[in-house]
Structure formats: C-alpha cells, structure tokens
C-alpha cells in the first residue's frame, strides 16, 4: 500500500493555514495542503519533514509536526498520514511545485469547488481544533 502525507502548517497565531494552489492533476486549480509521497525506506515523519522542506523551504527547526490522523483508501491501495504543526516564528515560504499562500480559517474548506480532498481538509481542520492546546504548547 503506497503512503502519502499531507501537512497542515499553521502560522504562529494559528489563525492561518498554509495552502497551495494546485498547478497539475489531481485537483488542478484547487487549493490543497502541501504534502507528497512517502518514499521506500522512509518513516512517515521523515517523509513529512522532507516534503515540507522541498515544497515550502520550512525546516524541522521552524515547526514541530504532530501526527494527527491517517486515512486508508483500500480501493486505491493507498493511505494518507496527516501531520500538523504551528510555526515557531514568522517565515517567508517559497516553493516551485505549487503556488503557496496563507488562508484564513474562515473559509468553507468543505467546498469541493475550491478545495481538494472531497471535504477532508475541513474534517482535518475540525480535528486539529479539538486538540488546539497541544499545538499552542509548541
């Protein structure tokens, strides 16, 4: 079963979430979280930090990631590990793969015309909100 990750990166005040505008399929033109494929021999957390650096220039020193949940898709023979973290300080993000931007949290992340993931981004945000105190400690 192939593994993937998605990374929920919050700004220091946890009122904005780092998003990307997809430039290619799947989900071309929609907003999504950053993330990618877990390579053979990598642990989930190693892959998460690698993808974060590759896609955003954010390093392990800039954020502590927490493994929040997993999704298994048996029909597609894959799973997705979800990590979340709050930046330790303000940072300028840059990436070449997709256009990066900070989204306020007042969006309807369940809107499949705007956001990738069939509503899962909204679900993940609600899960993080239930454990917000964990992230405020970092």
Find, among 49, 18, 14, the residue nearest to 129 by Cα. 14
User: In this model, does residue 138 exceed pLDDT 80?
Assistant: no
pTM for this predicted structure: 0.94
What is the residue-wise DSSP string for 15-57?
Answer: SEEEEEE--SSSSTTSEE-EEEEPPTT--HHHHHHHHHHHHH-
CATH 3.30.470.30 fits domain 2-137: no
pLDDT digits (tens, 9 = 90+) for 15-35: 999 999 999 888 999 999 999
What are the tens digits of pLDDT across the range 99-137? 999 999 999 999 999 999 999 999 999 999 999 888 777
For residue 57 the two structure tokens come to 């220039």
Asked if residue 48 has pLDDT above 90, the reply is: yes
Kindly state the average pLDDT of the residues 43-47.
98
In the chain, where the domains are located: 2-137
Quick one: pLDDT band at residue 63, thresholds 50, 70, 90? very high
Write out the DSSP string of 55-114.
Answer: HH---TTTB--EEEEEEEETTTTEEEEEEEEEBSS------SSSEEEEEETTS-TT-TTT
């Amino acid at each position: 079963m192939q593994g993937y990750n998605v990374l929920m990166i919050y700004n220091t005040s946890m009122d904005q979430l780092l998003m990307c505008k997809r430039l290619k399929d799947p989900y071309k033109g929609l907003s999504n979280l950053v993330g990618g494929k877990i390579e053979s021999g990598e642990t989930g957390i190693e892959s998460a930090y690698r993808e974060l650096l590759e896609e955003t220039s954010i390093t392990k020193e800039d954020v502590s990631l927490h493994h929040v949940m997993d999704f298994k898709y048996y029909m597609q023979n894959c799973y997705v590990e979800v990590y979340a973290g709050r930046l330790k300080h303000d940072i300028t993000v840059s990436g070449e793969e997709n256009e990066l931007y900070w989204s306020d949290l007042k969006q309807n992340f369940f809107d499949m015309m705007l956001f990738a993931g069939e509503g899962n981004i909204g679900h993940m945000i609600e899960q993080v909100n239930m454990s917000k105190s964990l992230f405020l400690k970092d």
